Amino acid sequence: MKARLTITEVAEQLGVSPKTVARWERVGKIRKPKRDWRGWRVYDETDLEQIKEFHEAVFEV
């Protein structure tokens, strides 16, 4: 079963705010996730991996 993460859970894993993740989505840096019946963003493992790759590319250490 694939993980179903909220925007807050994704943001916490990356060390950024949920608003940052939403902004990346809005400006097209990451693809839009599916939404649940309430309209809330729902991220799966594939979404999380893609976002992590983007985050690592932007915030290289």
CA distance 35 to 40: 5
Q: Please name the fold of domain 7-58.
A: Multidrug-efflux Transporter Regulator; Chain: A; Domain 2 (1.10.1660)
Has residue 2 got a pLDDT over 80? Answer: no
C-alpha pair distances (Å), 3 with each of 40, 45, 61:
15, 6, 27
Q: Quick check: 1 pLDDT over 80?
A: no
pLDDT digits (tens, 9 = 90+) for 15-58: 999 999 999 999 999 999 999 999 999 999 999 999 999 999 98
What is the arithmetic mean of pLDDT over 2-27? 94
- Asked whether 2 and 17 are in contact (CB, 8 A), the reply is no
